[in-house]
Each structure stands twice: as C-alpha cells, then as structure tokens.
C-alpha cells in the first residue's frame, strides 16, 4: 500500500501546513525518493542498522507465554535494539538523510523523551546539532530522559503553551521549522504529519516487518496467521504491518491506548473514539470536540499518549485491511506483569498494549482457524523507562 504522488492514503494524509513549509517538504520528498533508489544510501543505512543499532532484531518464540495463551506467540524483539526501541531505525534513516541534504541542524519533538533520546543519539553519532522540544509538564515528569538528552549533546527546550505535552511540542517544532527551514531538518518521531513524513518514516521502520516476514519463512516455512502492534502515532505498527499488507492470509491488528476506557473520555484511542479531521499537517482520525478543537489524550503509556494517528492507519482502518481495537491502561498493565513473570522480559508499556490486545484476540483466531494461531507481536521497546510508572501502578514502593 503506497500513498499517491501527493501523499494521500485514500482521503487521508496530504499536506495541511503553511505554504512556507511546502518547499521544504518537496525538497525532503525528492531527497527521500532519491535515497530510496540509491544503492549507496541503502548500503549505508543497512550498515548503520546492523553495526550500530543491532538489527535484525530477534524473532523470539515466547514458549511460556504461548502455553498460557494457547497460541504460538513470537515476539519481534525491538526492545533489544540500541536505545531500547524500534525508534532507532527512524532516527538513523532521517539523520542520514539530513546529512545528504547538507543541513547541519535537527529539531525533534518528544513526549516522554524516548524519541528525543533517540534523536540525540543519532545526532551525536552523525555529528548534527540537535534541539528537542518537550512539553514543560513532560520535562518535569521525565527528568532522567532530559538528562540523557543533555549527556548526548542535545539542547532541550521546554514548551509552556497549550497542554504543555507532546502535541504542543510538535506545534513548537513546526514553528521552529517554519523559521529555520533552510538549515534545519525536522526529525518527526512517528509516521504522521504532512507528506512525505508518513511514507518516509514508514520506509525507515519497515525493516521490522520485512525482517519478521523473512524470519517466519525461515523458522516456520510459512507466514504467521496474524501480526499485532500497539498504535499511538503508529510508527512501530506501520513498520510491522507494511510487509504483511499484501499477504491476505495474514490478519493485522493495531491496539490503541484506551486509557481509562474509551467511554470515560480519558483515552488516546483516536480511531475508536475520535473522528475524521486535520491535525499536525495531515487528514486522519483525531480526538476533537464538536468545534474541531483537539482534545487532550490520556494513556498510562507516554508513547501512545497522542490525540491523532498516522494517516496510513486511518486508511487501513477504513478499508478493513487492519483491525484497530482499544486496550485500557489496566489490561496493558496486566499484560506488562504477565510478560515479566512468564518470560523474564520487562516490556515497554506501549508494547504491553500490543500483548494485551493479542491475548484478547487469540481465542477469536483459534475459533476461526480451528487450531492454535501463530501470532507475531511487535515488542517495540523495553520497559526500563517505565519503572517509575510500574512502581506507582503496582504500589511497589515500601
């Protein structure tokens, strides 16, 4: 599934940005297309992913979890990548492209700080100046990641407008980009935003699914029955899904952050609970009120706590090729604990949403197929960063 020439996935995507950014987006699109067709870029990106990021990541059969669930569950271990998540793929791709564009400066937005840390890492590795915009509320909540970014040489700019969280950090990064576009690349952290970002980010993270597909064929001599991932903005999910979209026998599930429950309004499930509209440069599903004002999202997982979703997911939803369901905070934390206890793996809370949703759909798949399903779950990141949340949630401090 590809976007049209101007970045539309069906009615979604496109470019809803100030005219001042169009030239930069055109330039970025041209450079990205050229890079994708250039064997030298592929070789260099591949070398960085292999030697620096530690990919291909393992496809691990989680035996005890499988026995518990009545399925064969394979975990795509993106948590073992350098910096602890799939995000390193995106930042290395975009940072390498930035070098090729001859721009010396990178800006990035971050919520909890994971994409900020990944961006700072790639910029240190490739000798680029890095400025990270972060909501003032998040700066206070995530002191450890702020320190990591500073250690890596990045400048962290607190954003004190709006809700002072991720969406406002994106707004501020866009404002910086409008002002400094000649010297600066905006290293967007997810497969959302104006064209070409949804396509470009997907192209850099699609190794997740490409690898998983090859690993399945190698291990099982067949494709899995289903692939699953958590969906916030949706970069790890689109990275997992893209390789399997043409394979009609493979079911695709995306699990959104239900927060306290979609009926409570305190949710981040933009496809399930939101409506069609425009935010951050693209037409997509978003959480909004009757007047089209963005509603603040809520999730226990900072990485999924975003009020919109990448436009390709909106289109995969409308076409029925992928199924999107919400997973509430409580279900996610139950799955978080389950993986710790059964497999000795502490997942990111984002990835715990994918696990929880997978456990929910396995009985459905088993009934449908008349046998134990084979499911590949994108374990998008490790949970070290979430220990303070886990301590609070499970009351571990005493």
Partner 1 sequence: MTPMFKKPALVGYLPAGFPDVPQGIAGIKAMIEAGVDAVEVGLPYSDPVMDGPVIQRAAEKALAGGVRTRDVLATVEAVSGMGVPVVVMTYWNPVERYGVGAFARDLAAAGGAGLITPDLIPDEADEWLAASDEHKLDRVFLVSPSSTDERIAMTVKHCRGFIYATAVMGVTGARDETSAVAPKLVARVKAVAGALPVGVGLGVRNAAQVAEVASYADGVIVGSALVSALGEGGVQGVRELTTHLVGGLSR
> What are the residues binding partner 1 (CB under 8 A)?
6, 14-24, 161-162, 167-168, 171, 174-175, 178-182, 275, 277-281, 288, 290-294
Q: Which C-beta is closer to partner 1: that of 186 or that of 204? A: 186
Smallest distance, partner 1 to C-beta of residue 101, A: 15
Smallest distance, partner 1 to C-beta of residue 165, A: 12
Smallest distance, partner 1 to C-beta of residue 276, A: 8
Catalytic residue from among 76, 78, 103, 109: 109
Q: Which C-beta is closer to partner 1: that of 307 or that of 357? A: 307
Q: How would you write the chain as a 3-class SS string?
A: CCCCCCCEECCEECCCCCHHHHHHHHHHHHHHHHHHCCHHHHHHHHHHHHHHHCCCCCEEECHHHHHHHCCEEEEEEHHHCHHHECHHHHHHHHHHHHHHHCCCEEEEEECCCHHHHHHHHHHHHHCCEEEEEEEHHHHHHCHHHHHHHHHCCCEEEEECCCCCCHHHHHHHHHHHHHHHCCCEEECCCCCCCCCCHHHHHHHHHCHHHHHHHHHHHHHHCCCCCEEEEEECCCHHHHHHHHHHCCCCCCEEEEEEEEECCHHHCCCCCHHHHCEEEEECCEEEEECECCCCCECCCCCCCHHHCCCECCHHHHHHHHHCCEEEEEEEHHHHHHHHHHHHHHHCCCECHHHHHHHHHHHHHHHHHHHHHCCCCEEEEEECEECHHHHHHHHHHHCCCC
Strand-by-strand arrangement of the 105-110 sheet: 155-159, 129-135, 105-110, 184-186
Q: Which C-beta is closer to partner 1: that of 20 or that of 214? A: 20
Smallest distance, partner 1 to C-beta of residue 105, A: 14
Q: Is 34 among the catalytic positions?
A: no
Q: Is 249 among the catalytic positions?
A: no
Smallest distance, partner 1 to C-beta of residue 222, A: 43
Catalytic residue from among 119, 235, 380, 385: 380
Closest CA to 145 of 170, 120, 114: 114
**Crossing angle of helices 22-36/87-101, nearest 10°?**
100
Q: Which C-beta is closer to partner 1: that of 209 or that of 281? A: 281
Q: Which C-beta is closer to partner 1: that of 79 or that of 176? A: 176
Give whole-number Cα distances, 197 to 81, 100, 137, in Å: 23, 17, 26
Q: Which C-beta is closer to partner 1: that of 237 or that of 279? A: 279
Smallest distance, partner 1 to C-beta of residue 176, A: 9
Contact 314, 300 (CB under 8 A): no
Smallest distance, partner 1 to C-beta of residue 344, A: 42
Q: Which C-beta is closer to partner 1: that of 174 or that of 354? A: 174
Q: Is 40 among the catalytic positions?
A: no
Catalytic residue from among 57, 66, 87, 331: 87
Active site residues: 87, 109, 380
């Amino acid at each position: 599934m590809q976007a049209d020439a101007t970045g539309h996935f069906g009615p979604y995507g496109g470019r809803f940005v100030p005219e001042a950014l169009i030239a930069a987006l055109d330039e970025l699109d041209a450079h990205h297309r050229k890079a994708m067709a250039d064997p030298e870029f592929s070789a260099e990106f591949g070398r960085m992913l292999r030697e620096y990021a530690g990919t291909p990541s393992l496809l691990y059969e989680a035996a005890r979890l499988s026995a518990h669930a009545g399925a064969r569950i394979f975990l795509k271990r993106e948590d073992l990548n350098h910096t602890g998540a799939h995000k390193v793929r995106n930042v290395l791709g975009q940072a390498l492209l930035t070098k090729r564009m001859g721009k010396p400066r990178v800006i990035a937005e971050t919520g909890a700080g994971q994409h900020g840390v990944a961006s700072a890492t790639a910029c240190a590795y490739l000798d680029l100046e890095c400025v990270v915009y972060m909501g003032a509320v998040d700066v206070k909540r995530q002191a450890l990641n702020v320190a990591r970014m500073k250690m890596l040489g990045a400048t962290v700019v607190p954003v004190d407008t709006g809700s002072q969280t991720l969406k406002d950090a994106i707004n501020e990064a866009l404002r910086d980009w409008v002002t400094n576009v000649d010297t600066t690349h905006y290293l967007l952290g997810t497969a959302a935003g104006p064209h070409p970002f949804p396509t470009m980010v997907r192209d850099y993270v699609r190794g997740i699914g490409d690898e998983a597909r090859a690993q399945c064929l190698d291990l099982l001599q067949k494709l899995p029955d289903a692939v699953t991932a958590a969906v916030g903005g949706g970069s790890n999910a689109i990275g997992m899904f893209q390789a399997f979209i043409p394979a009609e026998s493979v079911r695709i599930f995306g699990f959104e952050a239900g927060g306290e429950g979609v009926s409570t309004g305190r949710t981040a499930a933009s496809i399930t609970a939101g409506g069609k509209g425009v935010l951050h440069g693209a037409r997509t599903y978003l959480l909004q009120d009757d007047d089209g004002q963005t509603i603040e999202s809520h999730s226990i997982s900072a990485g999924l706590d975003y009020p919109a979703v990448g436009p390709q997911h909106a289109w995969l939803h409308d076409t029925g090729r992928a199924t999107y369901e919400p997973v509430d905070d409580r279900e996610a934390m139950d799955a978080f604990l389950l993986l710790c206890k059964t497999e000795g793996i502490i997942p990111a809370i984002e990835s715990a949403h994918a696990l929880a949703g997978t456990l929910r759909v396995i009985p459905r798949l088993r009934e449908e197929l008349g046998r134990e399903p084979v499911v590949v779950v994108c374990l998008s990141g490790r949970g070290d960063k979430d220990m303070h949340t886990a301590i609070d949630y499970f009351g571990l401090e005493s």
